[in-house]
Structure 1
């Protein structure tokens, strides 16, 4: 998204990966407690806002979000905010 808007506006990531996922190493016997945290994920509920953008026109923002949404394994929708209406 940043490349598509040519660094013209600001982008906020509204989610944070705060849930640890643990895995046991390869070829380890069963038992002996839980494995170590390997990576972190962000659980996303329906209706959650993922990204926020400011400082660019709507056409450019829609195209940037369309390109980013193609890489996500979930359905996304573009939402606009009207300020001072």
Structure 2
């Protein structure tokens, strides 16, 4: 008999295109945009910053 499956090597999360990953409230828009811009450089996928108005209007703005 075996002794189990072993230790995990890494985690995976499936993120489909169009999915909102982060929402920020309670800070000025420029502060939120700067924080998200810095976070975008650390993620291994293409991202864009959109506002609630962009989502309701149907068009996205890239940064």
Q: Aligned pairs, how many?
A: 50
Instruction: Provide Cα deviations, 1:12-50, integer angstroms capped at 9, x if missing partner.
Output: xxxxxxxxxxxxxxxxxxxx7x94461432110011111
Cross-structure match for 1:74 = 45
Q: Which runs of 5+ in 1 are unaligned?
A: 1-31
* Greater fraction strand: 1
Find the counterpart in structure 2 of residue 56 from structure 1. 27
Q: Measure the CA separation in 2 of the matches of 1:68 and 1:78.
A: 11
In structure 2, stretches of 5+ residues that fail to align are 54-63
Matched, 1:40 2:18: no
TM-score, length of structure 1 as denominator length: 0.50
Ranges of 4+ aligned residues in structure 1 off by more than 2 Å: 34-37
Larger radius of gyration, structure 1 or 2? 1
RMSD of aligned alpha carbons: 2.0
Q: Secondary structure at the match of 2:23?
A: strand
Whichever structure has more helix as a proportion of its residues is 2
TM-score (norm 2): 0.66
